[in-house]
Chains A and B, each alone.
Chain A
C-alpha cells in the first residue's frame, strides 16, 4: 500500500498532494462513473460531454498541459494517479474515453500545435467543453501505421481530405479529431501530417458505430471523409512530421495503457480475494484453498512488478530521457500490462465460478473489457517488434 508522505522517494513517487488528488478522483469515480456503469453499458454509449464538463471544472483534464490553456503544469505523477483511479471504475469504456481525451489525442497538439490550435481545441478540451479523438487506424492499416492511405491534398488555404479511419474511440461524440493523413506522395514515414479536424466539417461522416466484444459504453466508430476541407492552419507542427509526432504521442498512450492495465488488474484480484473469502464450498471459504491463495499472490506480485516498471517509465518521461529509452520501456510496460490483464481476467473469472460468468458480476465485464489492452494502442506483437529492434535483434 502506498502511504502518504510529504516528499516523494525513489520507490514511492507520491506526496501528500498526490494522495489528496487520489482521494478526490476516487470519490469522483465512485459517485459519478461507477453508479452509471450498467446504464451506459446497456446504452452502448456514455454522455462524454457531461462527464468531461464535470472533470474539466475540477481541473482533471489538463494536468500536465500549460496553464496558459487552462492546464495545471503538474508533474507526471498526477497523471499516473488519475489513470490508476479511473481504472478502478466498474467499467472500462469510460476510463478509456477519458484517457483518449487527456493523453492520447492531445499531447501532439499541446507540444507541437500552434497558439491558434491550442486556443481553439486544447483549451476547450481541458475545460471539458469539447471531446477529442485520435484517428490513426484504418481498415487496412492498424498497428502498421506506415500503410495508412487517408490523404490530405493542398488546395489553396485548405487540405482536401479523403479516406477513412477505423476503431475510433469517442468517434460518434468527438468535436475534433487528431487525424494522421498522408500529405505528400512519399510512400513512407515522411509523407504524413497530423491535422486537427473539427467533426462539423462538411464531408465528415460517422459511417458506423461499431459493436465490440467489450468496452460497450465506449462509442467506437468507423469514420469516413469525402472531400473534407480543413484549413492548412489546422496542421500540427510541420508538414511531413506527423508520423514522428504520433510515435511520440504513442509513448504517452502506452504508458497510460499500462497504468490502466495494472491498476484494473489489482482491483480485479482484490475483488476476487474478497469474493473467495466470503464464498464457501465444501464447508470452508474458497480462499482457504492454498491453490487460490498462491495463484492470487503470484498475480499480485506480477502486478506490483509491472506497476514499478511503469513508474520507471513515467520517471523517464518526466525527466526528458532520450526517446529511444522511453520507447523501449513504454513498449515493455504496454506489453506486460496487456498480458497481465489477460492472465488476471482469466484466473479471477475462474475463481468466481458460475457467478463470474454472469453479466451482473463485474468480473465478467472486466474479462471482456481488459482484453483490448493487448490489442489497442499497438498490439503485443508490435511491442515485441519494437523491443527486438531497440535491443539490436532486428535483421533485414
Chain B
C-alpha cells in the first residue's frame, strides 16, 4: 500500500503577517515553517506505512517555497517527495489546489490512503481536504484523533473521530482521505542522518500535463487586502491593600463592562 500525505511551507506562526505598501500580503523576511498541522499527518503516514510495510510519498502543491517542507518531510522519514505546480495556480483557490492534488494522488500506484493535517494555517482553511476527497471520489474522514486499525489486506480503516459531542468510532472501506488532529501522535524530530539524506534529494516537479489534466480556471479575483483596524487598548492597574480587595474591584469592573 502507498500512503500519501501533503505538506506546505507557511509563515512561522510567530511572524507578523500584514499587508505591505503595495497591497500584498507579506511576512517580511521571517522564516517559513512546515504547516504545523502537517507534522502530525507526516508522522502518522510514516507510522502507518511502517505498520503495513507500505510506501510513503509527500506532496506539496505550489512553488519552490514548499521544497523546504518537502525536505523536512524526507528528513523525518517519508520515502518520496514531489511538488506539483502549474502556471496560473492561485494558492487561495481551493478548487485549483484540490484538482492538482487529486491528479497527483491518482498518479501514484496503489495509493489507498491520503492523510492531511487538520488545516492549512496560512489560509486558515481545511476545505482542500474535502475537495481533494471529492475530486478523487473517495470517502472523507475528518478530525481523526486515532487510527485504530489499517487493514491493508481487508481494505478497511477503523478510526476514532473527535466530534463536538464526544468520540465516534468509524470503519470505512479504502481508499479514504483523512484529516488528523494534533493529539494523534508525537511528531519526531528530523534525525541527523535523515537531514543528510534529505538535503541531497532532488525534488521532482509535476505539471498538469504530466498528470494528464488541465488546470481549471480560477474563479477568484483578489480585489484588496486590508490590515485589521488597530485596536485601541487602554490598561488599568487595580490598586488595593489585599488580593481579596483587588479581586473584588476586578469583578466589579468586569461586571460594569458586561464581560461577566
Contacts and interface: CB of A to CB of B under 8 A. Distances in A.
Interface of A: 1, 4, 15-17, 20-21, 23-24, 27-28, 57-60, 63, 72, 74, 78
A58 B29 contact: no
Contacts of A78: 192
B192 A21 contact: yes
B189 interface: yes
Max chain A CB contacts within 10 Å: which of B71, B192, B193? B192
25 contacts: A1-B29, A4-B68, A15-B199, A16-B199, A20-B71, A20-B190, A20-B199, A21-B195, A23-B190, A24-B75, A24-B189, A24-B190, A24-B191, A24-B195, A28-B189, A58-B190, A58-B191, A59-B191, A59-B193, A60-B192, A63-B192, A72-B193, A72-B196, A74-B192, A74-B196
B118 interface: no
B92 to A, nearest CB: 26
Nearest to B199: A17
Contacts of B72: 20, 23
Given A24-B189, A59-B192, A74-B196, 12 more contacts: A1-B29, A17-B195, A20-B75, A21-B192, A24-B75, A24-B190, A24-B191, A27-B189, A58-B190, A59-B193, A60-B192, A72-B196
A83 to B, nearest CB: 15
Interface residues of B, number: 14
B198 interface: yes
A36 B198 CA distance: 30
Contacts of A4: 68
Interface of B: 29, 68, 71-72, 75, 189-193, 195-196, 198-199
A57 B199 CA distance: 19
A1 B28 CA distance: 13
B189 to A, nearest CB: 5
A63 B195 CA distance: 13
A20 B34 CA distance: 12
B196 A17 contact: yes
B33 to A, nearest CB: 8
Contacts of B198: 20
Q: Which 9 A-B pairs have the closest CB atoms?
A: A59-B192, A17-B199, A24-B190, A58-B191, A20-B195, A59-B191, A24-B189, A21-B195, A28-B189
A15 B71 CA distance: 14
A13 B71 CA distance: 20
A347 to B, nearest CB: 25
Nearest to A74: B192
A188 to B, nearest CB: 42
A192 to B, nearest CB: 35
A24 B77 CA distance: 13
Contact of A58 (B68, B189, B196, B199): B189
Contacts of A15: 199
A288 to B, nearest CB: 18
A16 B41 CA distance: 24
B50 to A, nearest CB: 16
